[in-house]
Amino acid sequence: MRTNNVALQGVINKGLELMSSASVTEVQYDNWLNYSRTILSMISRNPSIMANYLSVILTANNPNLRIYQRISICLRYLIGIQNLI
């Protein structure tokens, strides 16, 4: 369990680091998103958590949102599930 929390915290930290960057590119966002999805699929034993995250990703990929907003939407979900992992 502790290892899972460390891995998820690493994903969250990377997302926060991206948000603090002066200019985040679409490629950086896509790379982080793939990283977050991969880590979550490896550490979560609950298929609902992954299904919900995929739904969050679809919501975040609204082209009218800025990249920072997209990352924020994903981060809110990941932070919210930390105690479930």
Query: Domains in the chain: how many in total?
Result: 1
pTM of the model: 0.92
Percentage above 70 pLDDT, the chain: 99
Backbone region of residue 66 per phi and psi (left: phi > 0; alpha: psi in -120 to 50; beta: other values): beta
Q: Is the pLDDT of residue 1 over 80?
A: no
- Which pLDDT belongs to residue 41? 95
Domain that holds residue 37: 2-84
Task: Let me know the angle formed at the C-alpha of 65 by 29 and 74, rounded to the nearest 5 degrees.
Answer: 50
